[in-house]
Amino acid sequence: MLDPTLNATGLAAPRRLRAPAILLAVVAAIFLVAPHLYGNQSLLFTIMTFIVLAQGLNLLYGFTGYLPFGYVGFFGSGAYATSLLVMHTHLPVLVCVAGGGLAAALLGLVLGPLLRLSGAYFSIANLAASQIIYFVVSNPNLSDITGGPYGLKIEQVYNPDASYACMLGVLLIACALAAYFRTSGFGMALRAVKQDPVSAAMAGVNVVQARLVAWLVSALIAGLAGGTYAWGISVFYPDAVFTLQFSVFAIVFALFGGVGTVIGPIVGAAVLYVLYAAIGISTPQYFQFIYGGLIVLLVLFLPGGLLSLLQRRGIHVF
């Protein structure tokens, strides 16, 4: 018997698409109004950056189970590719940002063989790959190309308002993709692969292709975020865009909210980063203790993230 919530193409029927549409509208409204209510646009820009990274990681880990410890490699690659395009071409900045996203996706294609690994082997190999990229771009011998340890400057295109709007656009794209993964037949195939790849393959799912698509889409989102971030700060060093803190935060934020959902990474990144900023300012001497303790408590008592509290009460979480 056919599922009445599905249309002839196998995708969710229009009424099931209302939830993601409403969510995207609410997120857009919040970040469009927030700068007028809260003067620190830089903080809002950073929060959006981490929401995008958490959502991008969610596209891979939440739907395939592959946890990329070196996810920052795609972010940094997008930042560098965008900046180099700005410096050496006369293309519009938005086109350069798109180029940064494509460069990260191309890097993902090159690193595609890593998907043959699984579990900790994949995570460690991905981390090693990101470190190799970092050492290449920070190499003093390549200073004429990458700026080496001195980084890059694209002050000629610095525009905080435009970069803020661009990051919001990337955020909405990331959330729309997560909604597609959540509601489409392709997303269902990904979840089947995550639970049991052998059974999924026997059911007709192209396991290798499904994983590769999720991997490339996740890389694309990180690259777009990196390119927009570079545009927003205009001057950066290799350590600023290849720091492992970006990967760690993306993982923690996604897990805190709840992976495999659309709203989970948004809630996780918004709540934890605001808390991170507040603790760092008010009680910096206790920051590591308080923040680390919160993460330990989360892992012990809420392994499914904050949204699992709603799910336990029978509330559907999108």
Give per-residue pLDDT as tens, 40-61: 899 999 999 999 999 999 999 9
Are 168 and 28 in contact, with CB atoms under 8 Å apart?
Answer: yes
- pLDDT band for position 311 (cuts 50, 70, 90): low
In a domain, 250, yes or no: no
Encode pLDDT of 24-34 as tens digits: 899 999 999 99
Residue 218's pLDDT band (cuts 50, 70, 90): very high
Specify whether the CB–CB gap between 43 and 241 falls below 8 A. no
pLDDT of residue 14: 54
Overall pTM > 0.95: no
The C-alpha atoms of residue 203 and residue 270 are separated, in whole angstroms, by: 39
Radius of gyration of the chain (CA): 20
Average pLDDT over residues 164-174: 97
Question: Is 206 part of any domain?
Answer: yes
Distance CA 205, CA 222 (A): 26
**Residue 3: pLDDT over 50:** no
- The pLDDT tens digits for 123-151 are 999 999 999 999 999 999 999 899 999 99
Q: Let me know if residue 79 belongs to a domain.
A: yes
DSSP structure string for 6-28? B-TTSSBPGGGGHHHHHHHHHHH
- Please report which residue ranges of 114-196 form alpha helices under DSSP H: 119-137, 143-146, 160-183, 185-195
In a domain, 225, yes or no: yes
Q: How far apart are CA 246 and CA 46, in angstroms?
A: 11
Q: Is residue 151 part of a domain?
A: yes
Query: What does residue 236 show for φ and ψ, rounded to 5 degrees?
Result: -155, 160
CA distance 235 to 153: 4
E-only strand ranges, the chain = 152-153, 235-236
Residue-wise pLDDT for 221-251, tens only, equals: 999 999 999 999 999 999 999 998 899 889 9
- Are 171 and 48 in contact, with CB atoms under 8 Å apart? yes
The residue that leads in pLDDT, 318 or 275, is 275
The total number of structural domains in the chain stands at 1
Task: State the pLDDT at residue 9.
Answer: 43
pLDDT per residue over 189-209, tens digit each? 999 999 998 898 998 899 999
Region 69-81 average pLDDT: 96
- For residue 132, give its domain range: 14-244
Between 221 and 309, residue with greater pLDDT: 221
The C-alpha atoms of residue 266 and residue 55 are separated, in whole angstroms, by 7
Residue 160 confidence class, pLDDT cut points 50, 70, 90: very high
Q: What is the pLDDT of residue 299?
A: 72
The mean pLDDT value of the chain amounts to 88
Whether residue 20 is contained in a domain is answered as: yes
The answer to whether residue 195 is domain-embedded is yes
Q: Is residue 275 part of a domain?
A: no
Asked if the model's pLDDT at residue 267 lies above 50, the reply is: yes
Q: What's the pLDDT band for 114 if we cut at 50, 70, 90?
A: very high
